[in-house]
Structure 1
Amino acid sequence: MRTLVYGFTLSLDGYINDRAGLIDWTSPDDELHQFHNDRYRALELSLHGRRLYELMAAHWPYVTADAPPIQREFARLWTEKPKVVFSRTLTDVGWNSTLVSENAVEEVRRLKAAGDGVMEVGGANLAAALIPHGLVDEYQVFLAPVILGGGTPFLPALDQRITLRVAETRHFDTVEMLRYVTG
């Protein structure tokens, strides 16, 4: 069974973007960017909600040759990585992506059962639909030194507690990484 990882850079007060939807405060330094490149390279599959897909698709396929090598590397990784995009409004997706318009929970269950590697979920709304069903196996938090006071929360409100175990902590110059696993 595939492992499903949910991770984001978030503010100290738990938001993945600010009230205007901006993420300009999340810019990684080279060490963190390389960590993300290496992590992304190891994924079998990347699951995207519509908003994250649109954000990524508007930027990474268009990185130019004069961009730093670390960014060019991620652009190549992102465009080549198999992706599943969950959206009820999009009618077309590109860059090695498959569109799913119905029943995200059942599709993710199917995808988890279809392999034994690692896949990630990107997008707070998509993750919020999967978390209550116990589909997320690991949480990767990149805690940034900023308080936003509002925005999109990393985690949804839940009817039941989810007990996690600390699997790893790591210090970067720009964030603290906290990795938690279920069970």
Structure 2
Amino acid sequence: MAKVIVMSSVSVDGFMEGPERSLAWHMVDDELHTHFNDVLRGAGAFMSGRVGYELEVEVWPEADADPEAPAPVADFARMWREKPKYVFSRTLAEAGWNTTVVREVDPEHIRGLKELHGDLYLGGTDLTGAFLRQGLVDELRLYVHPVLVGGGRRLFLDEGGLRSLTLAEHHIFGNGVALLRYTFPSDEK
């Protein structure tokens, strides 16, 4: 059964971005990036908000054209271009790179996308919140970086109260980043 999966890097203190949208604290080395690629290769589609999508468009369309690009970066660039993408935005008129603009989070539409594509990988604070509030998230894949950022943008804002999670997997990478993969008990979703 297809799932909606939130996949995000976070600091120990819960930030997905540092001050001024900084991601400089992310500890993505070749091992971790290769893992991301291996996971995302099975994705049916990527989903993001407008800001996340615009940041992706600045990097991924031509990242593999750089002869200095590490192999995992070049691999992901090719994957990113090929995968269907959905950007949730009320202001974006159109999007390129195999991307469809969606105006709102509609549970029926999301169920249809799961049937069409399979697993949907979701990123972004506001979009994650909207999906969580509607009970549309099946799994959380949190990559906890061993840093305290101290400010910025938190991954989880106001997501609708207390919910239980089941730890389905954990792994520590060589750089100290910890994968914590959680699922929602069926009665909690």
TM bucket (normalised to shorter chain) is over 0.9
1:73 aligned partner: 75
Provide, for residues 123-147 of structure 1, a one-character-per-residue CA deviation record: whole Å limited to 9, x for no partner: 1111111101110000011111111
Give unpaired runs (5+ residues) of structure 2.
none
8 Å Cα contact 1:142/1:176 also seen in 2: yes
User: In structure 2, do the counterparts of structure 1 residues 36 and 22 end up closer, same or farther at CA, with 3 Å as the change threshold?
Assistant: same
Task: Identify if the C-alpha distance between structure 1 residues 44 and 116 changes in structure 2 by more than 3 Å, giving closer, same or farther.
Answer: closer
How far apart, CA to CA, are the structure 2 residues paired with 1:24 and 1:104? Answer: 30
> Offset of 1:12 from its aligned partner?
0.7
* Runs of 4+ in structure 1 over 3 Å off: none
1:109-162 CA distance string (max 9 Å, x none): 4323x2472111111111111101110000011111111112111112233311
Q: Deviations over 1:49-96 (max 9, x none)?
A: 111111111101121241122111000001111011111111111111
Q: How does 1:125-144 map to 2 (within 5 A)?
A: 125-144=126-145
CA displacement, residues 15-62 of structure 1 (integer Å, 9 cap, x when unaligned): 100121111111411111100011111001111111111111110112
RMSD of aligned residue pairs (Cα, Å): 1.5
Partner of 2:33: 33
User: Structure 2: which amino acid aligns with 1:29?
Assistant: D
Aligned length: 181
Unpaired runs of at least 5, structure 1: none
Alignment partner, residue 50 of structure 1 = 50
CA distance in 2, matches of 1:108, 1:154: 21
SS in 1 for 2:21: coil
How far, CA to CA, are the matches of 1:65 and 1:17 in structure 2? 26
TM-score by length of 2: 0.90
Separation of aligned partners in 1, 2:77 and 2:31: 17
Give 3-state SS (helix, strand or coil) of 1:24's partner. Answer: coil
Q: Is the 8 A contact 2:145 2:178 kept in 1?
A: yes
When the two structures are superposed, what TM-score results if normalisation uses the length of structure 1? 0.93
Aligned to 1:168: 169
What is the percentage of aligned positions where both structures have the same residue? 37
Match of 1:38, SS?
A: helix
Kindly indicate whether the alpha-carbon contact (under 8 Å) linking 1:83 and 1:98 is maintained by their aligned counterparts in 2: yes
